[in-house]
Amino acid sequence: MPRNTIAMVWAGGLILAVIVYLAGPDQFVYGVFDLIHRGWWTLQDALRNLSIAAFDLVRALAIGLYFVFVVLTLIVIRRGGRGRAALIALSVVFFALIWHAPGYGFGAHGRWIAGLLLAAAGALSMTRRLTQPMVSPWRPGAMPPRQGP
Protein backbone atom coordinates (compact mmCIF):
# COMPACT_ATOMS: atom_id res chain seq x y z
CA MET A 1 0.00 0.00 0.00
CA PRO A 2 1.39 3.45 -0.86
CA ARG A 3 2.71 5.53 2.02
CA ASN A 4 0.64 8.54 0.91
CA THR A 5 -2.58 6.64 1.57
CA ILE A 6 -1.44 5.60 5.04
CA ALA A 7 -0.37 9.17 5.83
CA MET A 8 -3.77 10.53 4.67
CA VAL A 9 -5.60 8.05 6.92
CA TRP A 10 -3.45 9.16 9.91
CA ALA A 11 -4.02 12.83 9.10
CA GLY A 12 -7.79 12.30 8.76
CA GLY A 13 -7.93 10.49 12.10
CA LEU A 14 -5.99 13.25 13.86
CA ILE A 15 -8.16 15.98 12.33
CA LEU A 16 -11.26 14.07 13.45
CA ALA A 17 -9.82 13.77 16.96
CA VAL A 18 -9.28 17.55 17.08
CA ILE A 19 -12.85 18.22 15.88
CA VAL A 20 -14.28 15.76 18.44
CA TYR A 21 -12.18 17.34 21.21
CA LEU A 22 -13.27 20.89 20.31
CA ALA A 23 -16.95 19.97 19.96
CA GLY A 24 -17.00 17.65 22.94
CA PRO A 25 -17.25 13.89 22.49
CA ASP A 26 -20.87 13.73 23.72
CA GLN A 27 -21.95 16.57 21.46
CA PHE A 28 -20.14 15.02 18.50
CA VAL A 29 -21.88 11.66 18.88
CA TYR A 30 -25.21 13.44 19.36
CA GLY A 31 -24.53 15.52 16.24
CA VAL A 32 -23.71 12.42 14.15
CA PHE A 33 -26.90 10.68 15.28
CA ASP A 34 -28.87 13.86 14.64
CA LEU A 35 -27.42 14.06 11.14
CA ILE A 36 -28.40 10.44 10.44
CA HIS A 37 -31.87 11.05 11.87
CA ARG A 38 -32.41 14.18 9.76
CA GLY A 39 -31.19 12.36 6.66
CA TRP A 40 -33.62 9.52 7.28
CA TRP A 41 -36.56 11.93 7.73
CA THR A 42 -35.56 13.80 4.58
CA LEU A 43 -35.55 10.52 2.63
CA GLN A 44 -38.97 9.55 4.02
CA ASP A 45 -40.37 12.97 3.15
CA ALA A 46 -39.03 12.70 -0.41
CA LEU A 47 -40.61 9.24 -0.79
CA ARG A 48 -43.93 10.53 0.58
CA ASN A 49 -43.90 13.41 -1.92
CA LEU A 50 -43.08 10.97 -4.72
CA SER A 51 -45.99 8.78 -3.64
CA ILE A 52 -48.36 11.75 -3.72
CA ALA A 53 -47.10 12.74 -7.16
CA ALA A 54 -47.54 9.17 -8.44
CA PHE A 55 -51.11 9.06 -7.08
CA ASP A 56 -51.87 12.36 -8.81
CA LEU A 57 -50.44 10.93 -12.03
CA VAL A 58 -52.62 7.79 -11.77
CA ARG A 59 -55.74 9.90 -11.21
CA ALA A 60 -54.90 12.24 -14.09
CA LEU A 61 -54.23 9.33 -16.46
CA ALA A 62 -57.47 7.60 -15.43
CA ILE A 63 -59.53 10.70 -16.14
CA GLY A 64 -57.70 11.39 -19.41
CA LEU A 65 -58.06 7.83 -20.68
CA TYR A 66 -61.75 7.79 -19.74
CA PHE A 67 -62.18 10.93 -21.85
CA VAL A 68 -60.33 9.25 -24.74
CA PHE A 69 -62.62 6.22 -24.39
CA VAL A 70 -65.79 8.35 -24.46
CA VAL A 71 -64.73 10.34 -27.51
CA LEU A 72 -63.57 7.25 -29.45
CA THR A 73 -66.78 5.43 -28.54
CA LEU A 74 -68.88 8.32 -29.84
CA ILE A 75 -66.89 8.24 -33.09
CA VAL A 76 -67.48 4.46 -33.39
CA ILE A 77 -71.21 4.92 -32.77
CA ARG A 78 -71.38 7.77 -35.30
CA ARG A 79 -69.76 5.53 -37.91
CA GLY A 80 -72.40 2.87 -37.32
CA GLY A 81 -70.40 0.58 -35.08
CA ARG A 82 -71.47 -0.95 -31.80
CA GLY A 83 -70.44 0.88 -28.66
CA ARG A 84 -73.47 2.10 -26.73
CA ALA A 85 -73.49 -0.80 -24.29
CA ALA A 86 -69.74 -0.49 -23.76
CA LEU A 87 -70.09 3.24 -23.12
CA ILE A 88 -72.81 2.75 -20.53
CA ALA A 89 -71.26 -0.28 -18.82
CA LEU A 90 -67.75 1.10 -18.63
CA SER A 91 -69.00 4.49 -17.43
CA VAL A 92 -71.04 2.91 -14.62
CA VAL A 93 -68.14 0.72 -13.48
CA PHE A 94 -65.57 3.53 -13.82
CA PHE A 95 -67.58 5.97 -11.74
CA ALA A 96 -68.41 3.27 -9.19
CA LEU A 97 -64.69 2.64 -8.80
CA ILE A 98 -63.56 6.22 -8.39
CA TRP A 99 -66.57 7.59 -6.50
CA HIS A 100 -66.10 8.22 -2.78
CA ALA A 101 -68.22 9.63 -0.01
CA PRO A 102 -67.68 13.30 0.83
CA GLY A 103 -64.97 13.86 3.39
CA TYR A 104 -63.02 10.69 2.62
CA GLY A 105 -60.34 12.22 0.43
CA PHE A 106 -59.78 10.88 -3.05
CA GLY A 107 -60.60 7.23 -2.52
CA ALA A 108 -58.33 4.24 -2.34
CA HIS A 109 -55.27 4.01 -4.56
CA GLY A 110 -56.27 0.56 -5.76
CA ARG A 111 -59.65 1.78 -6.95
CA TRP A 112 -58.06 4.53 -9.03
CA ILE A 113 -55.57 2.08 -10.50
CA ALA A 114 -58.43 -0.26 -11.39
CA GLY A 115 -60.26 2.68 -12.98
CA LEU A 116 -57.12 3.55 -14.94
CA LEU A 117 -56.79 0.00 -16.23
CA LEU A 118 -60.49 -0.15 -17.13
CA ALA A 119 -60.37 3.16 -19.01
CA ALA A 120 -57.18 2.08 -20.81
CA ALA A 121 -58.77 -1.21 -21.87
CA GLY A 122 -61.86 0.61 -23.15
CA ALA A 123 -59.81 3.21 -25.03
CA LEU A 124 -57.65 0.52 -26.63
CA SER A 125 -60.74 -1.48 -27.59
CA MET A 126 -62.34 1.51 -29.30
CA THR A 127 -59.05 2.36 -31.00
CA ARG A 128 -58.94 -1.18 -32.39
CA ARG A 129 -62.53 -0.85 -33.63
CA LEU A 130 -61.67 2.37 -35.43
CA THR A 131 -58.47 1.10 -37.04
CA GLN A 132 -59.93 -2.14 -38.36
CA PRO A 133 -62.43 -2.14 -41.21
CA MET A 134 -65.96 -2.25 -39.89
CA VAL A 135 -67.90 -5.31 -40.95
CA SER A 136 -71.51 -5.27 -39.88
CA PRO A 137 -73.52 -8.50 -39.92
CA TRP A 138 -76.61 -6.43 -40.82
CA ARG A 139 -75.07 -4.73 -43.83
CA PRO A 140 -73.09 -7.29 -45.79
CA GLY A 141 -70.67 -6.06 -48.38
CA ALA A 142 -70.97 -6.67 -52.10
CA MET A 143 -71.98 -10.18 -52.98
CA PRO A 144 -69.49 -12.15 -55.06
CA PRO A 145 -70.50 -12.64 -58.70
CA ARG A 146 -72.74 -15.62 -59.26
CA GLN A 147 -71.11 -18.54 -61.02
CA GLY A 148 -73.15 -19.97 -63.87
CA PRO A 149 -74.05 -23.70 -64.11
Q: What is the pLDDT of residues 102-146, one digit of tens each?
A: 656 556 778 889 999 999 999 999 999 888 876 655 555 555 566
Answer whether residue 141 is part of any domain.
Answer: no
Asked whether residue 139 is domain-assigned, the answer is no
| pLDDT of 118 | 95
- Which residues, in sequence order, are CB contacts of 112 under 8 Å at separation 6+? 55, 58, 59, 62, 97, 98, 106
Residue 137 within a domain: no
75 within some domain: yes
Angle at 99 between CA 98 and CA 104, to 5 degrees: 105
| Nearest-angstrom CA–CA distance, 87 and 77 | 10
Q: What is the pLDDT of residue 65?
A: 95
For residue 149, tell me if it sits in a domain: no
Residues in the chain: 149
Mean pLDDT is lowest, of 32-36, 84-88, 91-95, 101-105, for: 101-105
Measured distance CA(114)–CA(94) in Å, rounded:
8
Question: Is residue 41 assigned to a domain?
Answer: yes
Quick one: angle between helices 109-131 and 84-98, nearest 10? 160
pLDDT at 63: 93
Residue at 105 is within a domain: yes
Q: Give the number of other CB atoms < 10 A from CB of residue 98.
A: 21
Structural domains in the chain (count):
1
Q: What is the pLDDT of residue 142?
A: 55
Q: Does residue 122 lie in a domain region?
A: yes
The confidence band for 31, taking pLDDT boundaries of 50, 70 and 90, is confident
| Enclosing domain of residue 97 | 3-131
